[in-house]
Amino acid sequence: MKCPDMPGFSFKLPAPVPFSFRLCLDYLSGSNSECLYAVHEDRIRRLVSLAGRDVLLEVSSKDDLELVVTALYGGPLNEAEQLEAAAYVTTWFDLNRDLDPFYRLASSDARLAGVVRNLNGLRLMGIPDLFEALCWAILGQQVNLAFAYTLKERLTSAYGDSVQWEGNVYRRFPTPEQMLAVSADELGALKLSRMKSATILEVAGLMAAGKLSREGLLAMDSFDAMEERLVSIRGIGPWTAHYVRMRCLGDPTAFPIGDVGLHNAVKNLLSMEKKPSLDMLREMFNSWQGWEAYATFYLWRTLY
């Protein structure tokens, strides 16, 4: 565990309109089991890797007009590191997204209008690191959310870096290189299934070898091509690929149609006795073409 040094370097990022930092924090505060960031009153702290070194970032916003990003540990940041931190926070909070088209679409749809009105300014919170995003989706396959969080905490505590700041420990998800030093048996001891262990180690090997990267995926000519690359990896199916398209690759059309949470949200929204069929979901989301990911994210948010 590393100790803090030279705290306090800050810079600002303009916030888009509409933007609600409070609603974003409310979403990020949704689980007491989250191990990769911590909300402290009106700000959030997260350990990230910048130029290969650990930096504890704190993000806050007093007026929803700008975000203040502070390097509590690992600062000051040089120009390249500041740009990297800005890109990370921009992806994390989806700051470059113009939500006006989505809100116009939703305002004319009785099913979504109330949901969007209550969540005005909420951004689709991203997972900027591809390895973390893939592993989180893999861990969540066919288990309840509570157990997925438990598995993530076990992996992070066992193999990720950490720093101590003001009496609290902040952890970073393991890198592909760190995971390559781990055996399938060791992952099994953490209660990962054989398939999940094998898939995570396969992804780690591909990323460590430079054969899979967020930059490489984003360089492809379409999100469908990105999905095709992801599902070519054993253990990654359409749900996992669409989740990663949605949370990491910035695809507003991502549609994890098989997601149980989405089924429950639609069931509740429409006061249905049974969960919707896949055909019904396809027809419903056809009205929201181009914004399937945001519609899904907002519907998820109605569950808690």
**Could you report the per-residue pLDDT of 57-100, keeping only the tens digit for each?**
999 999 999 999 999 999 899 999 999 999 999 999 999 999 99
Note the pLDDT tens digit of each residue in 113-165. Answer: 999 999 999 999 999 999 999 999 999 998 999 999 999 999 999 999 999 99
Question: Per the domain annotation, does 275 fall within a domain?
Answer: yes
**Cis ω on the peptide bond leading into residue 76 (within 30° of 0)?**
yes
Residue 156 is assigned to a structural domain of this protein: no
The answer to whether residue 15 is domain-embedded is yes
Q: Is residue 87 part of a domain?
A: yes
Task: Kindly list the catalytic residues.
Answer: 259
Give me the DSSP letters along the chain. -B---S--EEEEEEPPSS--HHHHHHHHTS-TT--SEEEETTEEEEEEEETTEEEEEEEE-SSSSEEEEEEEESPSP-HHHHHHHHHHHHHHTTTT---HHHHHHHHT-HHHHHHHHHTTT--------HHHHHHHHHHTTTS-HHHHHHHHHHHHHHHS-EEEETTEEEE-PPPHHHHHTS-HHHHHHTT--HHHHHHHHHHHHHHHTTSS-HHHHHTSS-HHHHHHHHHTSTT--HHHHHHHHHHTS--TT---TT-HHHHHHHHHHTT-SSPPPHHHHHHHHHTTTT-HHHHHHHHHHTT-
| 289 pLDDT tier (thresholds 50, 70, 90) | very high
Residue 125 falls within a domain, yes or no?
no
Q: Domain with 101 in it: what CATH number?
A: 3.30.310.20
* 75 and 142 inside one domain: no
Whether residues 43 and 75 share a domain: the answer is yes
The answer on pLDDT for 284 being more than 90 is yes
Per the structure, how many domains does the chain have?
3
Instruction: Quote the pLDDT of residue 3.
Output: 39
What is the pLDDT, as a whole number, of residue 9? 87
Identify whether residues 196 and 235 lie together within a single domain: yes
Q: Is the pLDDT of residue 7 over 60?
A: no
Same domain, 134 and 110: no
Tell me the pLDDT of the chain averaged across its residues.
95
Q: How far apart are CA 88 and CA 15, in angstroms?
A: 14
Per-residue pLDDT tens for 155-213? 999 999 999 999 999 999 999 999 999 999 999 999 999 999 999 999 999 999 999 99
The verdict on residue 4 lying in a domain is no
* Same-domain pairing of 139 and 243: yes
In a domain, 166, yes or no: no
Statement to judge: residues 282 and 186 lie in one domain: no
- Average pLDDT for residues 236-255, to the nearest whole number? 97
pLDDT-derived band at 4, boundaries 50, 70, 90: very low
Instruction: Examine the domain organization and report whether 63 and 104 are in the same domain.
Output: yes
> Which pLDDT belongs to residue 200?
98
Please tell me the predicted confidence (pLDDT) of residue 8.
61
What is the model's pTM?
0.94
Residue where a domain stops, chosen among 247, 268, 284: 247
User: Domain of 210: which CATH number?
Assistant: 1.10.340.30
- What pLDDT sits at residue 2? 47
pLDDT at 1 over 70: no
Side chain identity, residue 246: M
- 8 A C-beta contact, residue 214 and residue 248: yes
Can you give the residue range of the structural domain that contains 293?
A: 260-301
Instruction: Kindly state whether residue 1 falls inside one of the protein's structural domains.
Output: no
In the chain, the percentage of residues whose pLDDT exceeds 70 is 97
> Span 47-59, mean pLDDT?
95
Residues 135 and 111 in one domain: no
